[in-house]
Amino acid sequence: MVSGVSKSFGGVKALRDASFAARPGEIHALAGENGAGKSTLIKVLCGVLRPDSGTVQTTGELATAFQELSLAPDLTVAENLFLHDPPRGRLGLVRRSVLAPRADELLRRFGVDYVDSRAVTADLSVAHRQIVELVRALATEPEILVLDEPTAALQESQVAWLAGHMRRLREQGCCVVFTSHRWREIEDLADRVTVFRNGSHVTTREKLGEAEAVTLMSGRSIDRTYPRLPPVPAGADRTLTVSGLRAGALREVSFDLHRGEVLGVGGLAGQGQADLFLALFGARRAAGGTIQLAGRPLRVRRPRDAIRAGIGIAYVPEDRKSEGLLLPMSVRDNLALGILDRLSSAGLVRRSAERAAVRSMVTQLGIVASRPMTQPVGTLSGGNQQKVLMGRWLLTDAEVLLLYDVTRGVDAATKHDFYQLIAQLAERGKAILLYSSETEEIAHLCHRVLVLREGRIAAELAGPVGDAEQIVAASMRERR
């Protein structure tokens, strides 16, 4: 469907003579590292971007759901669902009165009765926005369905819901193309996989194991084992002591975190994990309880209090666009944001020191940016934007690192770099609280795991747990 396509952005060659073909009646996964050109290929395929050279051919109705959500934020869910084809009366006027009931009917048909069709889209969670975007695409019963990282914002049950619809469309002869950084999803769903590297097609296969895929994607062989964690020194100081903390869905949580320790926070989705991280960082108001940092009471009313005290939070904001990164500003500015005090003398930023710090982070995290000192962060690929967020907190001297789902949307090779980094940070004495929507990471990367259920600690497991199933089992046990 796409042959010999090239596309550059300024000096960046996003696609080089790229070719790709998918057939009717198959689910075809597009795999590749962050910045490999998958999103660009999809945009060219859908006609959103014009290629510099090459040809694009599609046969039949095409529907897409993009990685950057394309719903109009100020419109209601119903208005977005019928944006291109609103119900009209005899005179061709839009029948506003039937808009919401029609939308309700449509959402119900797709089993999405938990989304209010009258809600303003901007007020929905990112997961729900993604689902509305998906329903809009699925509802057209297209002949070609193209989904760019459709599951990145979804929880497991929602992923299963989407997988069901993808399979149903395949049965009907639809050609479904999707991208994902989770190999399990690709293995589970795809009939064929195409690997891209550096903007070019590498291979298309029916059977491809994860190890080989990772090597093909990165062009190098990757040590895919989890790093061995250095033991927490006996009698290590308690860095963070949390007692009876209540915030949002968090009922009452108490624990200690030691220097050099990686403490995991597990459990089914939505048991208060996000509230715990946000409360410790001062981004969510605590309704009760106390926090001590290195033996001293700590009051965090806003993130600035946490940062001053030596707490850094690296997380993938639900919406990378609206929180965390300053998209029009350069990679340098975004990375150095947390260390400007340290880099300044007499009110002026020492540019050479700043450049050195930025370069070291770009190298250490393998951030793919052609001109890190000037290139706006918003023009990096999704995963590379994420590395910038992580890098900002690695540059600070924070003693406590709150790592919330930092590998979401990150490619496999980079994930393994992150794992090594976490072990190194622990070795350097940092105290790390870790949450991941991939339970396997919690199972392998933590000295201890707290399992949350309904806002409380339901179990504490000694790590490395090794087997993600144990954490899942602990989160189901003793259910009343």
Ligand X SMILES: Nc1ncnc2c1ncn2[C@@H]1O[C@H](COP(=O)(O)OP(=O)(O)OP(=O)(O)O)[C@@H](O)[C@H]1O
User: Which is closer to ligand X, CB of 178 or CB of 281?
Assistant: 178
User: Which is closer to ligand X, CB of 218 or CB of 396?
Assistant: 218
Stretch in the footprint of ligand X (CB under 6 A) among 35-43, 209-217, 270-278, 300-308: 35-43
406: contact with ligand X by CB under 6 A: no
Exactly one of 37, 51, 142, 282 binds ligand X (CB under 6 A); that residue is 37
Exactly one of 12, 131, 262, 389 binds ligand X (CB under 6 A); that residue is 12
Stretch in the footprint of ligand X (CB under 6 A) among 104-112, 312-320, 373-381, 465-473: 373-381
Shortest reach from residue 39's CB to ligand X, in Å: 3
Shortest reach from residue 384's CB to ligand X, in Å: 6
Stretch in the footprint of ligand X (CB under 6 A) among 34-42, 81-89, 226-234, 251-259: 34-42
447: contact with ligand X by CB under 6 A: no
383: contact with ligand X by CB under 6 A: yes
Shortest reach from residue 89's CB to ligand X, in Å: 41
Exactly one of 239, 334, 381, 407 binds ligand X (CB under 6 A); that residue is 381
Task: Using the Cα atoms of residue 455, residue 458, residue 461 and residue 464 in order, give the sign of their dihedral.
Answer: negative
Exactly one of 38, 258, 332, 453 binds ligand X (CB under 6 A); that residue is 38
User: Which is closer to ligand X, CB of 80 or CB of 384?
Assistant: 384
What amino acid is encoded at 230 in this protein? P
40: contact with ligand X by CB under 6 A: yes
User: Which is closer to ligand X, CB of 6 or CB of 379?
Assistant: 379
Stretch in the footprint of ligand X (CB under 6 A) among 95-103, 245-253, 256-264, 376-384: 376-384
39: contact with ligand X by CB under 6 A: yes
156: contact with ligand X by CB under 6 A: no
User: Which is closer to ligand X, CB of 142 or CB of 382?
Assistant: 382
- Which residues make up the interface to ligand X (CB under 6 A)? 9-10, 12, 14, 32, 34-40, 368, 379-384
